[in-house]
Amino acid sequence: MRKIAAVFVVCLGAVAALIASPTPVSAFGIRLGPFHIGLPFFGASHHFAHRHHIALRRREHDAVYDRESLGRTETARQAEPARSAEPALLYPAIALPTLYDEIFWPDRSQPWPFGYDAIFRSAFAKSPLDDDPHGCQQPDRTAEMIGRIRAEVKLRPDQLPLLQKLGAALGMTSGYLARACPKAIPAQPVARLQLMQSQLQVLGMAIDLVRPPLQQFEESLDAGQKKQFGAASAAASECAAAPPATDWSVNEIDQAVLPGGSQNDALANLKQTFASAAADLHAHCPNPLPSTPLARLEAMESRLDASWRAALSMQVALASFESRLNDQQRSRFEAMNLAQAR
């Protein structure tokens, strides 16, 4: 991911004041979010941030219920994906093997772990790892990966130091994510989304460590070696024809909270924001899949940017929505657990 200038803080303005909190990476002064250029669909996000700011000041406790909403049934819901939590958004070290496979051997990589459904479920579905302080610890695969690359690519003696340098960066990334493992996972959906932003930011900085040595190694290869190094690039992209459906996630909130009156306007804003986030994520799914490891890493960085933006916009919108709820509604909202079987 591209590092952004400190002036980005000024650009975020009121949004940063509402949602930003100190994170392990903010102390480096390198970035406040993995953006390439700026925020897409941020006209809507800025709108939510402004409304959230006003709402927090007046702390509305609207106790009005929409009586008709009490009659809503399961048949009103759209079909939704299988229920499961995605711990990788809270413990990104878990996803590192999948990310490495996508860079070097995409034919064996797993589905992208930071998509829309994963973000929403990680906010509302409690994972068994939430209470496991060692949940993010993963074995270091560096030696295995470097050994496989060396076996697949016939290197000259002068190229071996560059491969060793790449291996050192891969190992450093693994250790960096292990040290960034959160010591506790908040229960509240908005707070969990804020943690996701922080963890995606850490992950982006970790992946950045791999870019320079990977580029140097790839540039040292001749045409035949490059073909061997990118031989697994025939894997098909996982990109679907259209963005994932988001209505089901809004319906989950609707069914749990039973909003009424002006709260329905905030629910409509949620729906619009969620759809925009899903569309941006879909737009950054690489199709076709890049043919070289370095190009796949760059596409991954762009995709992580989109995941960070999605978590940010969803957090701001949900915070604004929650500020309009009365105490009973807020309790139901924060108690939602999509991992529970019905």
Tell me if 55 is assigned to some domain.
Answer: yes
pLDDT tens sequence across 68-80: 333 333 333 344 4
Please report the pLDDT score of residue 139 as a whole number.
83
Tell me if 211 is assigned to some domain.
Answer: yes
Whole-number Å distance between alpha carbons of 24 and 12: 20
Whole-number Å distance between alpha carbons of 303 and 236: 17
Find the radius of gyration of the CA atoms of the chain: 21
- Answer whether residue 174 shows pLDDT above 60: yes
pLDDT bin (cut points 50, 70, 90) of residue 25 is very low
- Given a contact cutoff of 8 angstroms between Cβ atoms, the answer to whether 280 and 309 are in contact is yes
pLDDT tens sequence across 81-124: 444 456 899 999 989 999 999 999 988 778 899 999 999 999 99
pLDDT tens sequence across 221-254: 999 999 999 765 456 678 888 999 999 999 999 9
Of 5-14, 181-190, 199-208, 232-241, the range with the lowest mean pLDDT is: 5-14
Tell me if 341 is assigned to some domain.
Answer: no
Stronger pLDDT, 30 or 100, i.e. the higher one: 100
Please report the pLDDT score of residue 46 as a whole number.
39
Q: How many CB atoms lie within 10 A of CB 18?
A: 18
Please report the pLDDT score of residue 203 as a whole number.
96
Whole-number Å distance between alpha carbons of 306 and 40: 9
Please report the pLDDT score of residue 83 as a whole number.
46
Stronger pLDDT, 320 or 6, i.e. the higher one: 320
Tell me if 330 is assigned to some domain.
Answer: yes
Please report the pLDDT score of residue 337 as a whole number.
87
Please report the pLDDT score of residue 231 as a whole number.
67
Please report the pLDDT score of residue 212 as a whole number.
98
Give every CB contact of residue 189 below 8 A, 6+ residues apart in sequence.
123, 124, 318, 333, 334, 336
Please report the pLDDT score of residue 69 as a whole number.
36
Cα of 304 vs its chain's centroid, Å: 6
Question: What would the mean pLDDT of 185-202 be, rounded to a whole number?
Answer: 95
Question: What would the mean pLDDT of 310-332 be, rounded to a whole number?
Answer: 97
Stronger pLDDT, 340 or 54, i.e. the higher one: 340
Tell me if 340 is assigned to some domain.
Answer: no
Tell me if 1 is assigned to some domain.
Answer: no
**Average pLDDT of the chain to the nearest whole number:** 78
For 30, 84, 180, 255, the CA distances from 338, given in Å and listed in that order, are 35, 7, 26, 12
Q: How many domains does the chain have?
A: 1
Give every CB contact of residue 54 below 8 A, 6+ residues apart in sequence.
none
Please report the pLDDT score of residue 108 as a whole number.
79
Please report the pLDDT score of residue 121 as a whole number.
93
Q: In sequence order, what DSSP letters do the residues of 32-62 get, joined into one string?
A: SS--SS--TTHHHHHHHHHHHHHHHHHT---
- Answer whether residue 22 shows pLDDT above 50: no
For the chain, give the percent of residues with pLDDT over 70: 70
- Answer whether residue 149 shows pLDDT above 90: yes
Tokens coding 225:
């070696």
Whole-number Å distance between alpha carbons of 318 and 141: 38
Q: In sequence order, what DSSP letters do the residues of 73-134 get, joined into one string?
A: -GGGSPP-PPP---GGGTSGGGGHHHHHHHHH-GGGPPPPTTSHHHHHHHHHS--GGGG-TT
Stronger pLDDT, 214 or 132, i.e. the higher one: 214
Determine the structural domain holding residue 59 and report its residue range. Answer: 8-335
